[in-house]
Amino acid sequence: MREKKGHPAALRRKAELKLMVSKKLRRQMSPATRSVDLSWAIGEGIVRFFSHAQKPGAAMMELFKKTFGLTLVPESPYTAAARIGLDKAQEKAWHDLEMTYLASTARLAMDEAAEEE
């Protein structure tokens, strides 16, 4: 007997096929896991979040702000220097520094494209 489109039996059959295909594909795929590490040194006022990708870091910063009402500032040489404090000679040397790229611009573009994915 031929089922008509929109008929309950045809809809049921379509749902069964969809479920069967979904289960088969899940069995064929390896599970993908993501893990990140986070530590919060409350006494120091430092949160360390370890991930090379930009998306998880941005999501964690947003969640941290919503949860604790605190805005996190990504660590950099500048923020580290500000945190530890510099004397006058060190401050002068710091301001005289120039940025140097340690990778080719093509490599930087590839890394940025990979982070966006």
Q: How far apart are CA 16 and CA 5, in angstroms?
A: 15
Query: pTM (2 decimals)?
Result: 0.47
Domain boundaries, the chain: 1-31, 33-75, 77-117
Separation of CA 95 from chain center: 32
Question: Phi and psi at residue 51, in whole multiples of 5°?
Answer: -165, 140
Separation of CA 113 from chain center: 14
Q: How far apart are CA 36 and CA 57, in angstroms?
A: 9
% of the chain residues with pLDDT over 90: 19
pLDDT of residue 103: 67
Reported as a single tens digit per residue, the pLDDT across 43-84 is 988 899 888 778 888 899 999 999 999 999 888 888 888 888
Q: How far apart are CA 62 and CA 57, in angstroms?
A: 9
* Whether pLDDT at 3 is above 60: no
What is the DSSP annotation of the chain? -PPPTT-HHHHHHHHHHHHHHHHHHHHHSPP-----EEEEETTTTEEEEE-SSHHHHHHHHHHHHHHHS-------HHHHHHHH---HHHHHHHHH------S-HHHHHHHHHHHH-
